[in-house]
Structures are given as C-alpha cells and as structure tokens.
Amino acid sequence: MKLRIALVASAFGACLAAAPAAAQDIKFSLQLPLTGPIAFTGQLNQAGWQHAIDWINKNGGVKGRKLDPFIYDSEYKVDVGIAGWKKAIANGDMAFSIGDGTPFIRAVTPENNERYKIMMSNTGYASDLTDVAKYPYHVLLGPTYSDQIAMFYKYIKDKQGSGPAPKVALVYTATEFGRDPIEFAKARAKDLGIEIVAEEETKFSGIDVTPHVIKLRSAAPDYVIFQGYAGNLWPEMVKLSREYGIRAQFMGTVYGAQADLVRGAGPAADGFLGIAPYEMNVAGNNGPIMKAMDAALKAWGKPYEGYSNVGYVQGWAIASFMRDILGKVVESGKAINGDSLIAAAIAMKDWDSGGVIGVPVTLARQRLPYGIIYRFSVKEGSFSFKPETGWIRVD
Amino acid sequence: MLQILEYSLIGIASGGIYVLAALGFVIIYKATSVFNFAIGEMMMIGAYLFYAATAQMHLGWLIGVPVALAGSMALAAGIERGLLQPLLGQPTIVLVMVTFGVGSMLRGLAGMIWGPDIIQLPDFLSRKPIFLGDILIPGKLAWGFVAVGALSLAFILYYRLSKTGIAIRATSADQMTAESVGINVRRVSSLSWAITGVLTGAAGIVVGALNGLTPTLGVVALNVLAVVMLAGMTSVGGVVVAGIFIGWMETLVGAYLGASWQSFMPYVVVLLVMTVKPTGLFGEQRIERI
Amino acid sequence: MANNVDTASKIESAHRAGVLLSHRPKATWQIVGWIALVVALAALPAVASGYVLFMATLVAINVIATTGLNITVGYAGLLSIGHSAFIGVGAYASALLAIHAGTPLIVNVIAGAAAAFLVGLVFGAPSLRIKGVFLAIATLAAQYSLYFVFQQWTSVTGGDRGLSVPQVNILDLRDTGFYLFVVALAAVLCSAARNLFRTRVGRAFIAVRERDYAAEVLGVDVVRTKLLAFGLGAAYAGVAGALTGAFLRIVNPDQFTLLVSVFFLAAVVVGGQASILGSILGAAFMTLMPEVLRAVLELFGPRGTAADVAGLLSPLREFIFGAMIVGFLYLEPRGLAGLVHRLRGGGNLRD
C-alpha cells in the first residue's frame, strides 16, 4: 500500500515538474452547476463555453496559444465547488477561474485574495460583487441584479413621463439571488418617486401561486417585476393574473427572462419585457462572435430558431473577453496572473465584444453595467422578441 | 376581510391534496406500522406516469388517469412485496430508513427517465375561473379540490364499510387478535400499500397539474408529514381536519408573512401541539407503546 | 483520478489499522497498525496535492459529524433528521466568535459544540415523552426553524450571503496545519465516543434503545439519558460545523439543508449503526463516492460530453445513494463496519 502511495506521489510530482515545459496551452477552470437546482442554465453555459473555446482555438487561440479548460460539476454546492477549484489548482498553472455561482465566489475570495490571486468570473449577477475592495480579482461580465432593476426603473420612468407615480410590484423568490436586489429596489424607488405597491416573496418552485396573484390583484400595479426566477412559477403567475384580469406590464430579470422560458409560458406572456445582458437574437447579427455563435448553434444539432439563452451566450461572452485580455497580457510580455489580467481588464476601454453586446463597453467597478430590454411576442404558433429599448447603461 | 376569505378558500382547496396524501400515509401506518418517508416520491411517480400516458403516449386524460393510478398502485405493491415484507419485524428505524432509500431511488429514477426540467402537465383540469360573488377561485384549483375530495370521500367510505377496511382497522388495533380471527395480515399489508399507491398517485397528478412537475415534486410531502403528526398518525378523521388546517395556514402564512415562513410554520405548530399533547390532536394512546 | 484512488487507499489502510485494534490477542499488531495509521495520516500532506488534502480534511470533518449522529441514531436509537441544523448552529456560533472576538480555533470549536448542545436540548425536549418517528418530526422542525433563523436574522448571521470566516493558520502550516488539527480532533472524538460506550452512561444509551421500560426498571433515567444522547450528537455536529466554517471560510444557510441531514443519516446506515468504525467508513464512503463516480464517468465519457453526462450523473447518484441504503439494510444491516468484520472472519462481535 505504502509503495503504491509513494509511486502515485512520485508520478504526481513528475507531472507537476513536467507541466511548465508543456505550458503552451492556457489552462483555466470552469466550475459549473451542471446538476442541481440551476442545472438547466449550467449545462447551456457549458455548451457555450465549449463552442467558444473550440472556435477560439481554431481561429488562432490567444496569440497562438490554445485555451484548455478543466471542467467540474459543482452541483451549485459551495464545498463541491471548492473541491473542484482545489483540484484545478493542484493541476497547476491555472490562468483564471470561472466559478459556479456567487456563493462559491464569496467562499473562495478571502483565500484567493491572500494566496492564489487568480482572476475569476461567475455565472451569477449578485449585487455585492461590485465591492471591488472585497472582490479585487472578480470581474462580472454583465449588470448586477440591482443594475437590472435600475434599468427597468429607467424604462418605467421614461414611459410614464410626467404622469402619476408609476405603481410597481416586486415579486421575487425566497432565494439568495431572488432577494439580492430587493433592498436596493425599494430604496431606489423612493428616490425616483416610484410607488412599490406590493412586495411578494415566493418559493422558488413547486407551490400554488394563487395567493400571490390575489395579492397582486388587490395591489393593482402598473408594472410587475419578477426577480430570481428560473422555472415555471412566474409563467404560472402571469397566466393566472390574466385570468384574474390583472392588466399590469410584466417584466423579468435575466434568468427569468430566458427566451425558452418565456416561450413556454404561452400566449399569456405576450408582451412580456425581459432584460438581457447580451444580444439574444443570434441569427442575422453581423458581429464576428455572433456569426461564429450562429454557426456553432447550427452545427450543434439541438433545435435552433435563431435565438439563444443567457447561459449559452454568457459562455461565449466571457470566453471572448478572456481571449482579448489574455492577448493584451501576452502582448505586453507580462506573466499571466490575476494581477496582470485584472489590470488588463480594467484598462480595456470600449471593448468590442464582436456583437455580443450591442455597444462598446467599459468595466465600471469591475462589472459591465449594460443591458437591453426585449419585448416578447408570444402567439399561438409564433414566437419572437425585439429590442424594446437600445442598450442601457446604468451607474 | 374579503381577502382573508379568499385566501382561506384557496388554502382549504390546497389542503385537500394534503388530506389525500396523508390518508395514504395513515393507511400504511395503521396496517403495517411503517412510517413512510417515500410518500412524496410515490406522488411524484404517479404524476410522471400520468405525464407519460397523456403527453408521451397520447392516451388522453380519461385513459391516462386510470393508467397512471394503476401504475402507481403496482409500484407501491411492488415496493411492499420486494423491499418491506422481507424486513417486517425489524426495528422501526430500519423500516423508516428503507422508505428513505426508496424515496431517493424513485427520485433518481425519475430524473434519469424524464430529466430535471420542469414539466407542465397537459391542462386536463379546466383553467376557467369560478366566481363566488366577488371571490374568484382558479379553475384548476377548484376542480383539483373536487377530484381530491371525491376520492378522499370514496376512500373513507371504503375504509369504514368494506371488508378490507375492517380488516385493516382490526390489524391496526391488534395484530395477534386479527390473525386469530382469520385475517391475513400479510395480505392486509399488501392491500394497504396498493391503496396508498392509488391515493398518492392521484394526489401527485393534482399537485403536478397545479405546480408543475419535477423529480423533486415529493418535497410537498414534508407538509404531509406535518399533517399526519398533527392529526396523530392513526386518525382518519383527524387527517381530514389537520390536512385542511395545514393547507389553510400555509396559504395565509405565505400571503401575509412571505415564503420564508412557509416551510417551517407547519412544523412549529406540530412541535407546539406535540409538546402539549404528544400523540397529536386526534392520536390514540397506543403510540407510546411501540 | 489517481488522487482519488490515493485517498481512498489511504483511508482503506487507515481503517485496516483501526480494525486491527479491536483484535485483542494480537496486541503487537495493534500497535504496529496504530503507528502505521498515524504515520500515513501525518505523512499525507507531504505527498498529497491541495485537492487530496481538501478531500481528506472534508472526510475527517464528516467523520466527526457522522459519529455524532451515530451516537443519537445508532447507539441511542433516536431518529434525527435535523442533524445539519445543529451543524449550522456550531458553524454560526464559532464563526461569530472568530469574527467578533478573534478567539483561536479551539475555543471556537468548543463554543460551537456548546451552542449546538444547548440548541439540541431545546429541540430534543419534546422527544422525551414520545418515541422514534415523533422525534424525527421534532428534528424536522429543528431543521426548518433553524434554517429560517440563519436566513432571516440578517444582522447577526449575514442572511443569505452568510458570514465570511477569517483564516485559521495553525503553526503557520495553512492547509496542512488545519488538516492535522481536524484529523487529531476526529481521532480524539472518535475514541471518546468509543470509550463512552464502555461506561455506564454510554451503556444506558444502548439500554434505552433496546427497551425503554426495561432500562427504566434497571435504574436508568430514560428521560435524562435520551436528552443526553441527543445533545451529545448535536455537540459533535457543532464541532463539525465549527470546523466546516473555518475550513470553507464561509457560513451560509444553504450549507445546512435537509439534504445534508439525509446525507449524514445515509453515512450512518451505510457505515454501520452503533459503530465508531462504521461512522468513519460511512463518512469516508459518502464523501468520496461522488468524486469517484465523477472520475469513473469522466473515464468513460469522452472529453466535451461532460454536460450530457452531467444530466444523468445527478439522478444516477441519487439512485445509487438510495439503493445503497436499501441494500445495506437488506443485506448487511451493520453496514460497512459489519462487512469489514465479516471479511476478517469475525463472529458476532459488537464493535
């Protein structure tokens, strides 16, 4: 037994020692929630990454070096995510790390700040990630949930003009991400003169939504914002609301506004407004990355009707951003590490995302506070969505 | 005031499902003394069988429902035959753990066959809302309650009047005596599981129709356990009262306090009741004997 | 992959060493076994990667939690399905001390144990007059109520985002120091539990499990014994919680759900009820099984299909998990410990 341990250990040591010599490839880790409560988006996310990496590697890689991911199913559990992260670190030479959700980032950040100093990004859009002093190595490629609420408010205020104070209902899940922007949403509403007429917290799934809809009916809001949903609950609420004669404008933040989900809600969701951090209409977009995405989706063999979902596009978005800043670091001749990558990310002004985001973007507090509001058309037998606004930037 | 009334009606309607599933629980407990933690997963499988029959095999719901119930019944009987009968006589904790394991297996099985995504069951219950004056009750919920109520009633009558019902009650009162008067205790055990299969299958179909269907549909059964504990494990009448009460309370808590309060309130009530009356509201004294 | 095998084989050898101990006539072998075990465990950080060390530490923490649950469930026969809530109490108590008072880890661990013990007593009280599954429901109540407190008492617990726990650096050895501390603590707590059942108090637990009334006739204070058994299990959970918080450096409500409680219950059943060796085996098995399964699937699935495999992996894991519980109860009710015992040709010796 001991002999075997020694053998394994020495083999392992040899691997470690040999690794730098073969370090042409740029290794990084992907902890994704491929199973568990948000597996749906995690799996799409992985597909997006995989397609993006294939495309990048086929098209010159990062200054000739290939991207080499270490993929690990984190199950959306913190300890499993850390296990995968440690495994990736043990494999050596990890250039950067894309991790699971925000709880994972919160867990590893102290140790990462003190010790590993690896650049990170993640799949969630939590508001506290803009605390740059606390998360110096994290970059969020999109708007936080609070930013998204701010975008909706901006839209509502513009729409309402000088009319009476708009009445808004906040409906959110009793989850970490569901509650994330609620404090902000209430405070900002006060500042803007928006009246919050209902604040409904619901479970994430598996409940009868009728009581919540009754509440909505008596609150009579002009706008209903859904936050933190990823399943069939808000579609059920929208259907029931229509039956109850509620005429509010329904709107949803990022994961709750995924095209496939809205489509599944059926005609009751016609006119639904959803925020996206990236362009979701893939076909017909002339950006080079979007064209590559279109080709990849066509070749994938899954049903494809010209649009995609957040998880998939997010994979492409982060992958192409990483390619560009890695390129800058390699060009400058600096070593690839967290400090050089973060510096390059912050220095990247007016990043051209190849069509993934409709305007040139610049990080603010290490996130991209840009989004677009789509209006969905869901009729019997037809489904599409179009930009309701241009690209919105908030502070 | 009107709103409270509205919530109450909806709460009572949703409590009907708890009653049905809890009846399934009680019947097994009475006949075999097994505390069945797999009750939620049995509901979930029933709903998936219905989905398979209607949406995947296009049988239409009139055929789909009996097919799903028959399947659910067969599964329950199979579990009893294959896994529990060989272990009868073992300590309670062993049997409880077995039902835990069975629950996990069923969840895994459903996940492998049907995947993790939320499935919307075909709308077989009319969505058309029902108006009672100014109060509006969603069609699905109302019809679900009617179905569940009718089934509960049918079961209670069967349980009170049929030979099988009497045999189960006799077994529950005293196994030895029951055996001595010629009741086949093993058969009673199998029967009780089969009946539970039907009840939980029906409850599962209704829950699936209302809330959507995933392999984790069974978590609603955690409230069923609260219902059963509140009622006192063995009381059929008590289950009806407790089920409706928990459904009602859950709805009001959700409406006025928010979702974070919903999961634990039933258990706080149970804990309080148990502190005062350990056998539950309608429980028999004999429980302490186990 | 190699790493997994490495850990597994080490743990296996460790267990062999542990088993040797129970064999009286071969005292010298016992000593050799013990020394080998200690050397193997102490040498692990020198040869293992950060990942292996992480998993080894996780196993050791889970061994403590499983041993605690085994005291309650296996030895005293009180079914608890709220174990993770007590782990949470320990985690929060110790994290709060670490953050606000800056006390050393050992103090925080003791405080975590004490807090969990007390909270355990509060929820155990209703079980005094009722038996078996009724306690299970009381512990379910603990599970939900405590989760609610963790999540809602934002000013203290940090709500959903939880608490960020300061770094523990024992003897400036970082991960290695923490690992050694946890393993040493696990060893102390396991042998403490083992010795407990040689004392009057510990035997009273078993007497209560076997037959309440008989125990009472024999002069065992049933109520006090039950409460103690429950509290002790919770205290072990508290220790495990304190260590988990310091280890993962985060404490948030979602770490302490019902699923985690069921995980430990399964560890007890799979490992072997009323057996310390069983707790060790069960915790190691349950912690490492998903990693091994993952590695096996990676071997078979070609690169790039991970997403497709993952969709199957989770339910498969759930199925295997359930099948193992049922299988063990059916074929070897004494779990892995019983299996080990049988493999060694042992008779009906109780661990």
List pLDDT tens digits, range A98-136. 988 888 999 999 989 988 999 999 998 999 999 999 999
Window 191-210 of B, Cβ < 8 Å to A:
210
Work out the average pLDDT over B105-115.
89
C234-260 mean pLDDT: 92
Q: Which residues of A87-115 are buried (b: 16+ CB within 10 A; e: fewer)?
A: bbbbbebbbbbbbbbbbbbbbbbbbbbee
How many CB atoms are located within 10 Å of the residue A337 CB?
Answer: 18
Measured at the CA of A85, the angle between CA A82 and CA A88, to 5 degrees, comes to 155
Predicted confidence (pLDDT) at residue B287 exceeds the cutoff of 80: no
pLDDT of B67 strictly over 80: yes
| pLDDT, average across residues A283-303 | 92
Longest distance between any two alpha carbons in chain C, whole Å: 66
Q: What would the mean pLDDT of B174-203 be, rounded to a whole number?
A: 86
Does the pLDDT of residue C21 top 50, yes or no? Answer: no
pLDDT recorded at residue A9: 46
pLDDT of residue C132: 59
Is beta strand A67-73 parallel, antiparallel or unpaired with respect to A94-99? unpaired
**Confidence check: pLDDT of A354 > 90:** yes
Q: Do B264 and C141 touch (CB under 8 A)?
A: yes
pLDDT digits (tens, 9 = 90+) for C96-146: 999 999 899 999 999 999 999 999 988 887 666 666 567 777 888 889 889
**pLDDT, tens only, C262-315:** 889 889 988 988 899 999 999 999 899 878 877 777 776 555 444 456 666 778
Per residue, the 3-state secondary structure of C289-317, as one string, reads HHHHHHHHHHHHCCCCCHHHHHHHHHHHH
Say yes or no to pLDDT of A96 above 90: yes
Residue A12 has pLDDT above 70, yes or no: no
- Which bin fits A142, alpha (ψ -120 to 50), beta or left (φ > 0)? left
Count of beta carbons in the 10 Å neighbourhood of residue A364: 16
Q: Are the beta carbons of A87 and C290 closer than 8 angstroms?
A: no
Distance of residue B283 Cα from the nearest chain C Cα, in angstroms: 12
B122 touches chain A (CB under 8 A): no
A299 vs A322: CA distance, rounded Å:
24
Q: Could you tell me if B141 lies within 8 Å of chain A, comparing CB atoms?
A: yes
Spatial separation of the C-alpha atoms in residues B267 and B220, rounded to whole Å: 13
DSSP B264: T
Residue B177 pLDDT grade (very low, low, confident, very high; cuts 50, 70, 90): confident
Q: Give the Cα separation of C86 and C119 in Å (integer).
A: 7
Percent over 70 (pLDDT), chain B: 97
Residue of B229, B253, B279, B285 to mutate for C, most C C-beta atoms under 10 A: B229
Average pLDDT of chain B, as a whole number: 85
- Residues of chain C with C-beta less than 8 angstroms from the C-beta of B91: 77
User: Which pairs count as long-range contacts for A40-43, CB under 8 Å and 24+ apart, including other chains?
Assistant: A40/A230, A40/A311, A40/B116, A40/B117, A41/A123, A41/A230, A41/A255, A41/A258, A41/A309, A41/A310, A41/A311, A42/A73, A42/A76, A42/A123, A42/A311, A42/C310, A43/A311, A43/C307, A43/C310, A43/C311
Q: Rounded to an integer, what distance in angstroms lies between the CA atom of residue A29 and that of residue C13?
A: 32
Of C127, C146, C287, C279, nearest to C208 by C-alpha is: C127
**DSSP labels for B103-115?**
HHHHHHHHHHHH-
Contact criterion met (CB below 8 Å) for B38 and B79: yes
Out of C55, C255, C304, name the one closest to residue A50 (CB): C304
Question: Pairing state of beta strands A67-73 and A119-122?
Answer: unpaired
> Residue B284: its pLDDT value, please?
63
Higher pLDDT, C30 or C148: C148
**In the structure encoding, which two tokens stand for residue C143, read together?**
């599970």
CB-CB under 8 Å, C310 with A8 = no
The mean pLDDT of C244-259, rounded to a whole number, is: 90
The pLDDT of A179-197, averaged and rounded, is 95
Question: Which of B290, B96, B200 lies closest to C273, judged by CA?
Answer: B96
Over the stretch B136-167, which tens digit does the pLDDT of each residue have? 888 888 888 998 999 999 999 988 888 888 88
- Which of B14, B136, B256 to substitute to test the interface with A, most A CBs within 10 Å? B136
> DSSP assignment, residue B213?
B
Closest CA to A311 of A47, A11, A5: A47
State whether A86 and C311 contact (CB < 8 Å). Answer: no
A335 CB contacts (<8 Å, ≥6 apart)?
none
What confidence score (pLDDT) does residue C226 get?
85
Q: What is the mean predicted confidence (pLDDT) over A313-341?
A: 94
Give the pLDDT confidence score for residue A269 in this predicted structure: 93
Contact status of C58 with chain A (Cβ, < 8 Å):
yes
Checking if the pLDDT of B78 tops 60, the result is yes
CA gap A62, C166 in Å, rounded: 37
- Please compute the mean of the pLDDT values over residues B229-258 and round it to a whole number: 87
Paired tokens of B286: 């004999």
* Whether the predicted pLDDT of C30 surpasses 90: no
Residue B1 contacts A where some CB pair is shorter than 8 Å: no
Place of tokens 């709750």: A256
Q: What mean pLDDT do residues B182-196 have?
A: 87
pLDDT at C1 over 60: no
- Chain B interface, best mutation among C319, C331, C334, by max B CB count within 10 A: C319
Query: What is the model's pTM?
Result: 0.84
Residue A1 in this model has a pLDDT that exceeds 60:
no
Cβ neighbours of B273 (radius 10 Å): 20
Q: Which residue has the tokens 């998204």?
A: A148
Instruction: Kindly report the nearest CA distance between residue A280 and chain C, in angstroms.
Output: 22
Asked which of B31-35, C67-71, C254-258 is least confident by mean pLDDT, the reply is: B31-35
Cross-chain Cβ contact C130/B288 below 8 Å: yes
Give the tokens for residue A108.
């590893």
Residues B38, B109: contact at Cβ < 8 Å? no
Chains that touch B (3 or more CB pairs under 8 A): A, C
Closest CA to A277 of A368, A174, A216: A368
Q: Is the pLDDT of residue B86 over 60?
A: yes
Average pLDDT over residues C244-271: 90
Query: What is the ipTM metric for this complex?
Result: 0.84
- B204-233 per-position pLDDT tens digit: 999 888 888 888 888 888 888 888 888 887
Residues from chain C that touch B226, judged by Cβ atoms under 8 A, are 137, 140
pLDDT for position C247: 92
Chain A residue numbers touching B263 (CB-CB < 8 A) = 203
Q: Residue A71: pLDDT above 90?
A: no
Q: Which chain B residue has the Cα nearest residue C78?
A: B93
Q: Do C307 and A50 touch (CB under 8 A)?
A: yes
Tokens standing for A366?
A: 């290490």
Average pLDDT value for chain A: 89
Q: What backbone torsions phi and psi does residue B131 show, to the nearest 5 degrees?
A: -100, 130
Q: Which two tokens stand for residue B172?
A: 């529950």
Quick one: pLDDT band at residue B285, thresholds 50, 70, 90? low
Distance, in angstroms, between B214 CA and closest chain C CA?
A: 12
| DSSP per-residue codes, C1-14 | -HHHHHHHHHHHHH
Residue B84 per-residue DSSP state = I
Distance CA A23, CA A61 (A): 14
Query: pLDDT band at residue C347, thresholds of 50, 70 and 90?
Result: low
**Exposure pattern of A251-260 as b/e (b: 16+ CB <10 Å)?**
bbbbbbbbbe
Work out the average pLDDT over C79-85. Answer: 90
Residue A20 has pLDDT above 60, yes or no: no
Place of tokens 């809001």: A221
Cα separations in angstroms, C188 against C7, C64, C193: 21, 10, 9
Measured between alpha carbons, how far is residue A166 from residues A171, B117, C244 in Å?
A: 16, 36, 47
Three-state DSSP class for residue B225: helix
- Give the Cα separation of A339 and A343 in Å (integer): 6
- Residue in C with minimal Cα distance to B278: C130
Three-state SS letters, chain A? CHHHHHHHHHHHHHHHHHHHHHCCCEEEEEEECCCCCCHHHHHHHHHHHHHHHHHHHHCCCECCECEEEEEEECCCCHHHHHHHHHHHHHHCCEEEEEECCHHHHHHHHHHHHHHHCCEEEECCCCHHHHCCCCCCCECECCCCHHHHHHHHHHHHHHHHCCCCCCEEEEEEECCHHHHCCHHHHHHHHHHHCCEEEEEEEECCCCCCCHHHHHHHHHHCCCEEEEECCCCCHHHHHHHHHHHCCCCCEEEECHHHHCHHHHHHHHHHHCCCEEEECCCCECCCCCCHHHHHHHHHHHHHCCCCCCECCHHHHHHHHHHHHHHHHHHHHHHHCCCCCHHHHHHHHHHCCCECCCCCCCCCECCECCECCEEEEEEEEEECCEEEEEECCCCEECC
pLDDT at A291 over 50: yes
Identify the three-state secondary structure at position B136. Answer: strand
CA-wise closest residue to C230 among C65, C66, C62, C77: C77
> Contact at 8 Å (CB) between C109 and C94?
yes
* Contact criterion met (CB < 8 Å) for B104 and C321: yes
Identify from A35, A75, A93, A118 which residue to disrupt to test chain C contact, counting C C-beta atoms within 10 A and taking the largest count. Answer: A35
Chain C residues within 8 A of A175 when measuring between CB atoms: 160
In this predicted structure, what is the pLDDT of residue C333?
A: 81
CA distances from C24 to A360, C19, C346 (A): 76, 11, 12
